[in-house]
Amino acid sequence: MIILPQQVTEALDILENSGFEAYVVGECVKEMILGHSPQDFDIVTNAEINDILFAFRDYRISDEGMNKGEIMVTVLGMVIAVSPYRREVVGQRVMYAPDLETDLARRGFTMNAMAYSPKTGLIDPYDGKSALEKIADSDEMKKVVAIGENVTVNVKQGGKPVAQTIYDMSKSFSMCPSRLLEAIRYCAEDEYEIEEQTRNCMRANVACFDYADSDSIREELQRIVMGKFAARALEQNADILKYILPEIEPCIGCNQCSPHHDFDVWTHICKAVGYSLPEPSIRFAMLFHDLGKPDCMSLDKNGRGHFKGHGERSRLLAESIMRRLDFPKNLSSEISWLVFHHDVKIPAERKELKALIRELGPQDLKDLLQCEIADSRARKTDSEPPQAQVLRKSLENLNEIVSTGECYDISQLAVTKRELLERRLARNDHEADELMNALFEIVLDKPSFNNRLMLIDIAEKSKHKLEEIQAEKRRAEEEIAKLERERKAKGRRAEPIFTKKKKL
């Protein structure tokens, strides 16, 4: 049963009371059939733009989507997109349609080509609801089915041309090339699978990618890698994805010939994406991190695979992809850095870890650890190999160091160089620097010592100890000098005299 929010019902009533048809359409209908609560609602009507503006004259109206034939109307705090029936939207060119079914036909997939209104109920000309029905007690998933049309083609039978009617889905993808990725995105975000005829049509129309704009490809690709089922969607649809990411093709089926890896390079990449934290920079870093392996692979005398320099090679390939798809500069920089450093050894010991935090910064090191954990988990069939456990311990220590404010940089010491100079615990900048470094080394081993009074006390004791050492050193030097002076005072006569032995 579909229950519409009050705001949507009111918007439909306004249009119907003005003498027009009105329906909610698209993904919001699909989500309500699945029992979800959509946040965005689209309404279509046979009213023209001016009629819509007049009907909602007492409401807040925005023309933000006017170039696509949409009017954004705010009803009781909810923004609703209202548009006339449309046949096609290409860039900023809108072709309007005479009826609802024509509008539904342009929506690409059967599950998005449903309409609903409380007055007429569900309108489902392409049987989209059945594609959403998961068969109980079976492994069959919801289906992604493209909308097609019956076309007549001439085929040869017995050497003679014969007219034959076929159901052709090509128009769904030629009208909107990004739908090739949209179908994969549904599989990545939810438990969908692409229906076989639709998949065959997608393979036959991969050339449509040549006409897709880079922004739409990047946005769909990001939604794919961010999906809950990204690993499965990437692995199952590599034959489509390789046309927008040709860099992945050498990875597909590439045996790593290594006891450390149970999977080929592409399967490992897909699993690493699935295991990683759902952050765009981390997910894309995992998608790109091993693209350079096939180019860098070498076999030793035992037949084991080695991939020296694959981090740098993967970085170069990743940067090429990101330039081609117009990734934002900041995101591109983060991904490039993570790809290049994804196999750097990260210590678990707190003191060594603090040095790395000081060098990289806590957030960059945390992202790098997340990448390495995902990379490690994706190598073996075991869900949590020993290396991943060590990395998790490093991440745990890092989080504890940051959350408790534990000192990992000399600037975090409870005393300053200026205070040491003012208290005459150091005579000059050089001595103050040496003393600060000594105190910092103490605090790295014993974080609880990072207390102002305690560090001043240690500095004073260190000063006294240093003075004692220097005094003892001066005494030893004076003693040596004294012995040297005494030796010189005796002159040569003090030296042994050797004479010839007398003959007997």
Query: CATH no. for residue 148?
Result: 1.10.110.30
| 179 domain residue, yes or no | yes
| 46 domain residue, yes or no | yes
Comparing 227-236, 264-273, 435-444, the range with the smallest average pLDDT is: 435-444
Contact, 6 vs 76, CB < 8 A? yes
> For residue 156, what are the domain limits?
138-244
Enter the tokens of residue 214: 């880079």
pLDDT tens profile 261-312:
889 999 999 999 999 999 999 999 999 999 999 999 999 988 899 999 999 9
| 494 domain residue, yes or no | no
The SS3 call for residue 81 is strand
Task: Assess whether 271 and 400 both reside in one domain.
Answer: yes
Task: Assess whether 350 and 472 both reside in one domain.
Answer: no
Task: Assess whether 425 and 364 both reside in one domain.
Answer: no
Q: Is the dihedral of CA 63, 64, 70, 71 positive or negative?
A: negative
| 496 domain residue, yes or no | no
pLDDT tens profile 1-49:
788 999 999 999 999 999 999 999 999 999 999 888 898 999 999 999 9
Question: Where residue 188 falls among pLDDT bands split at 50, 70, 90?
Answer: very high
Q: Which CATH number goes with the domain that contains 101?
A: 3.30.460.10
In degrees, to the nearest 5, what angle opens at C-alpha 208 toward C-alphas 222 and 130?
A: 70
Task: Assess whether 202 and 187 both reside in one domain.
Answer: yes
Written as one string, the DSSP assignment of 284-330 is HHHHHTTTTHHHH-EE-TT--EE-TTHHHHHHHHHHHHHHHTT--HH
| 491 domain residue, yes or no | no
Which of 459, 378, 386 lies closest to 417, judged by CA? 459
Written as one string, the DSSP assignment of 229-295 is THHHHHHHTHHHHTTT-GGGGGGTT-----TT-SS-HHHHHHHHHHHS-S-HHHHHHHHHTTTTHHH
Enter the tokens of residue 464: 């006294």
Query: Bridge partners of 261?
Result: none
Task: Assess whether 331 and 396 both reside in one domain.
Answer: yes
Task: Assess whether 319 and 335 both reside in one domain.
Answer: yes
pLDDT tens profile 88-131:
887 778 889 999 999 999 899 999 999 999 999 999 999 999 88
Tell me which of 406, 441, 461 is where a domain ends.
Answer: 406
Amino acid symbol at 488: K
Q: Say if residue 492's pLDDT is above 80.
A: no
Residues 161 and 182: their CA atoms lie apart, in Å, by 37
Structure confidence at residue 174 (pLDDT) = 87
- Mean pLDDT, all residues of the chain: 87
User: How many domains is the chain partitioned into structurally?
Assistant: 4
Contact, 25 vs 114, CB < 8 A? yes
Longest dimension (CA), the chain: 152
| 493 domain residue, yes or no | no
Task: Assess whether 120 and 180 both reside in one domain.
Answer: no
The SS3 call for residue 149 is strand
| 113 domain residue, yes or no | yes
Residues 168 and 152: their CA atoms lie apart, in Å, by 9
Amino acid symbol at 300: D
Task: Assess whether 94 and 34 both reside in one domain.
Answer: yes
Mean pLDDT throughout 427-455?
A: 84
Query: Bridge partners of 152?
Result: 165
Tell me which of 244, 277, 297 is where a domain ends.
Answer: 244
Q: Say if residue 260's pLDDT is above 80.
A: yes
Residues 504 and 500: their CA atoms lie apart, in Å, by 12
Task: Assess whether 313 and 227 both reside in one domain.
Answer: no
Which of 43, 153, 55 lies closest to 103, judged by CA? 43
Task: Assess whether 56 and 111 both reside in one domain.
Answer: yes
| 104 domain residue, yes or no | yes
Which of 38, 369, 35, 36 lies closest to 24, judged by CA? 38
Comparing 59-68, 221-230, 482-491, the range with the smallest average pLDDT is: 482-491
The SS3 call for residue 463 is helix
Give the phi and the psi of residue 8 in degrees, each rounded to 5.
Answer: -70, -40
Task: Assess whether 317 and 450 both reside in one domain.
Answer: no
**What end-to-end distance do the CA atoms of the chain give, in Å?**
137
Contact, 324 vs 271, CB < 8 A? no
Residues 165 and 163: their CA atoms lie apart, in Å, by 7
Enter the tokens of residue 197: 């005829």
Task: Assess whether 124 and 167 both reside in one domain.
Answer: no
Tell me which of 99, 133, 167 is where a domain ends.
Answer: 133
